Amino acid sequence: MAVFGAMALVLGLVGLVAPDVQLAMLDFVAVDPGQRASGDYTRVFMTASSMASVNMGVYYVLAAAVDFRAFFFWTVPFRLVTFTVFTTLVLTDVAPGSFVGVGLWEGVGALITGAALWRERRARAAGDAVLA
């Protein structure tokens, strides 16, 4: 959780400070602001999504710092939804193929988090049974 949070925080900051770098990382075309058509809000969207990434990064880091298990549990289904949406964008040619990495990051993160929570719950139940 802390690693995901730190990465979300850092990538969000990259998007805020250097949105063209983040667009390039996603394999999106980075157009010079002076060449953008009127009504092109790509940079506004990048700023908004980058700020959301900074916020989520902070949430994840803080949740990891205080071991907020309920938050960990809630992230699993929502990250699976994110995986589904982002992967669907690639499969339907709405987003470039490199964007599938974003979906995979979310899906793998959800599976790892879910497996860790399941394993901890089983270990705790086994420990409780031994103590009884």
pLDDT category at 42 given cuts 50, 70, 90 is confident
Nearest to 113 by CA among 49, 63, 53, 55: 63
Q: Is the dihedral of CA 15, 50, 84, 60 positive or negative?
A: positive
User: Is the same domain home to 45 and 79?
Assistant: no
Domain extent for 100: 68-132
Residue finishing a domain among 27, 45, 67: 67
* Residue indicated by tokens 């949430």: 59
Whole-prediction pTM value? Answer: 0.78
User: Is the same domain home to 80 and 121?
Assistant: yes
- DSSP for 83-117 reads HHHHHHHHHTTSS-GGGHHHHHHHHHHHHHHHHHH
Count of structural domains within the chain: 2
Percentage above 90 pLDDT, the chain: 59
Please check whether residue 66 is in contact with residue 56, taking contact to mean a CB–CB distance below 8 angstroms.
no
User: Is the same domain home to 60 and 106?
Assistant: no
**Crossing angle of helices 42-65 and 2-17, rounded to 10°:** 150
What mean pLDDT is reported for the chain? Answer: 89
Comparing 109 with 131, the larger pLDDT belongs to 109
Q: What mean pLDDT do residues 77-101 have?
A: 93
Alpha helix positions (H), 18-99: 19-25, 42-65, 69-91
Residue 132 has pLDDT above 60, yes or no: no
Which pLDDT value is given to residue 24? 85
User: Is the same domain home to 3 and 58?
Assistant: yes
User: Is the same domain home to 30 and 63?
Assistant: yes
Residue 34 has pLDDT above 70, yes or no: yes
pLDDT tens-digit readout, 96-121: 888 898 899 999 999 999 999 999 98
Residue 33 has pLDDT above 80, yes or no: no
